[in-house]
Amino acid sequence: MYLDTGRSQLGFEVRSRLGQRIEGNFPQFEGRIEVLSDGRHQVHLKMFTRTVEIPGKVRYTGWMRGPDFFDAERHPVVEFDSLPYDPARVDQGGDIQGRLMLRGVSHPEVLRVEKAECARPGYDCDVVSRGTVLRGRYGMDNWQFALSDRVTFVLRARLTGVPEP
């Protein structure tokens, strides 16, 4: 199963020290869900930093792509690979453990999946998940006086391919 990139959205949020929410998105990304032989699933996501944008904010977009944040020139891809998980977690909601690779640094992180709002999540409704990371752990520690250390990634996923029975 693959993410339907035309109907899915992958973005992020960071707050300024004054409480302003800055929202960005990854127009270019890809993802797949691997079904393992034991029935568990494993998700693989790639987000391409060269196209990251803050809609309507050209200066912020340049800064997010630049060396102080995602450093798209040196690190064009952010990746998340989950550990195997029970697919019921997507129906019921809960945490999916995995490993995030950001700016050449890898740490274990968690995606929190919201409880599904339909019988076939990913096909009839979005699968919504969020994961919050501390940007300083990934070498994005400039602008501490202006921005919070917390960055929240937000995924609203739709799937292509044959749904699992």
Q: Where do the domains of the chain lie?
A: 2-160
pLDDT of residue 93: 96
Query: Given this model, what pLDDT does residue 8 score?
Result: 97
Predicted TM-score of the model (pTM): 0.90
Question: First and final CA of the chain: distance in angstroms?
Answer: 13
Q: What is the pLDDT of residue 75?
A: 97
* C-alpha to C-alpha distances, 96 to 7, 80, 129, nearest whole angstrom: 22, 11, 9
Predicted local confidence at residue 82, as pLDDT: 98
The pLDDT value recorded for residue 105 is 97
Determine the Cα–Cα distance for residues 20 and 42; give it in Å rounded to an integer: 35
Residue 131: count of CB within 10 angstroms of its CB: 20
Confidence (pLDDT) at 23: 95
Structure tokens at 71: 């450093």
Nearest to 26 by CA among 13, 15, 43, 42: 13
Query: In order along the chain (165 residues), what is the average pLDDT of each group of 10 residues?
Result: 95 85 95 96 97 94 92 97 96 97 97 95 96 93 73 96 62
Alpha helices in the chain (DSSP H): 58-65, 88-92
List all residues 6 or more positions away from 15 whose beta carbon is below 8 Å from its beta carbon: 21, 22, 147, 148, 150
Q: Which CATH superfamily is domain 2-160 in?
A: Lipid/polyisoprenoid-binding, YceI-like (2.40.128.110)
**What pLDDT does 19 receive?**
79
- pLDDT given for residue 160 in this prediction: 92
Q: By C-alpha distance, which of 131, 128, 103, 98 is closest to 116?
A: 128
For residue 57, count CB atoms less than 10 angstroms from its CB and return exposed for 0-12, middle for 13-18, buried for 19 or more.
middle
Contact (Cβ atoms closer than 8 angstroms) between residue 70 and residue 64 = yes
